[in-house]
Homo-oligomer: A and B are copies of this chain.
């Protein structure tokens, strides 16, 4: 049986694997918020409105581990840290384009 692997977890279905990356509401929205450019923690937080610091930290950490996001810290005072999509992360964007399209048309 063909299997797919991400960070040591084995999936039997490629869609299941992808859902593990974008499926959680916050993970999906954080990726989407970085579609155009790198952003700092507080910029992402402002955009996602109802997310709290703990949830955002956890979400960013997981996405960095999954190699979806880069975390770049600049040697400045005050310290500056930016998050951006990796090449692998950018390849998720066609999924978001389709999600955006469906969400706009779905209105009941």
State the A residues within 8 Å of B (CB).
Answer: 4-7, 11-25, 28-29, 32, 49, 67, 88, 91-92, 94-96, 98-108
Partner of A108, one of B7, B23, B100: B7
Label chain A's interface by main secondary structure.
helix
**Residues of B with C-beta under 8 A to A16:** 25, 29, 103
**Residues of B with C-beta under 8 A to A7:** 108
Docked pose: A7 CA to B106 CA in angstroms: 10
Closest to A68 in B: B106
A99 to B18, Cβ gap below 8 A?
yes
Knowing A15-B28, A15-B32 are in contact, say whether A91-B103 is a contact too (CB < 8 A).
no
B95 to A91, Cβ gap below 8 A?
no
B23 to A107, Cβ gap below 8 A?
no
Q: How far is the CB of A107 from chain B (nearest CB, A)?
A: 5
Closest to A88 in B: B106
A4 to B107, Cβ gap below 8 A?
yes
Docked pose: A99 CA to B19 CA in angstroms: 8
